[in-house]
Amino acid sequence: MEPDKNTKSAAYYTSFYKHDVDEKRRVQVPAKWRRDGELVEYTLVTWPQNREGTCLRVLPPGEMAKLMQQLEGLPNSDPTKVALKRYIGTESEGVTVDKAGRICLPERMAKAADITGEAMLVGLLDKFEIWNPARYERVKASDSMMAAEAMRLMG
């Protein structure tokens, strides 16, 4: 099957970037993660972690749609369905990339993730996260310990 010429290629969020957060809580989205001239709306979700702390998970439109499908696919008899919908519904907010390539972090979300003067943007291939840099260093160390085993599972 030939690819649709009207379909834009998927964005992949790779690598990590440290950027300043200005007084209005705006942070630059890396240029390679953006499409020129396109004002994308992302969904930010306050994402609880275990001992490493909270970060902000940033979902592009397609990933938010997948998340909604996953939630709707849960049986109505599953009590976690409503709890998850309620959590994601109240702990998320839409943000749009401005013409300068920035997104503005809502105050309550920046506070929950302890993001102030700097932020670490971390690629997850199909989405990305925004971390307090010190918290991310702890997560990175933990991830490194698990990476070798995870790679073995992939073959």
Q: Is residue 79 part of a domain?
A: no
Output the pTM of the full model. 0.87
Q: Are 43 and 93 in contact (CB under 8 A)?
A: yes
* Confidence category of residue 37, pLDDT binned at 50, 70, 90: low
Contacts 24+ apart (CB under 8 A), 112-118: 112/46, 112/54, 113/46, 113/53, 113/54, 113/55, 113/56, 114/53, 114/54, 115/21, 115/25, 115/27, 115/56, 116/21, 117/20, 117/21, 118/18, 118/19, 118/20, 118/21
Domain residues for 31? 16-61+93-154
Q: Is residue 70 part of a domain?
A: no
Q: Is residue 29 part of a domain?
A: yes
Q: Is residue 127 part of a domain?
A: yes
Q: Is residue 85 part of a domain?
A: no
Among residues of the chain, what percentage have pLDDT more than 70?
Answer: 90
How many domains does the chain divide into?
1
pLDDT at 3: 37
If one compares 99 and 119, the residue with the highest pLDDT of the two is: 119
* Confidence category of residue 4, pLDDT binned at 50, 70, 90: very low
Where residue 22 sits, what CATH number does that domain have?
Answer: 3.40.1550.20
pLDDT in tens, 121-137: 999 999 999 999 999 99
Backbone angles phi, psi at 103, to 5 degrees: -120, 150
Count of other CB atoms within 10 angstroms of residue 87: 14
Question: What single DSSP character describes residue 3?
Answer: P
Helix, strand, coil % in the chain, rounded to nearest 5: 35, 25, 35
Q: Is residue 53 part of a domain?
A: yes
Q: Is residue 5 part of a domain?
A: no
Q: Is residue 126 part of a domain?
A: yes
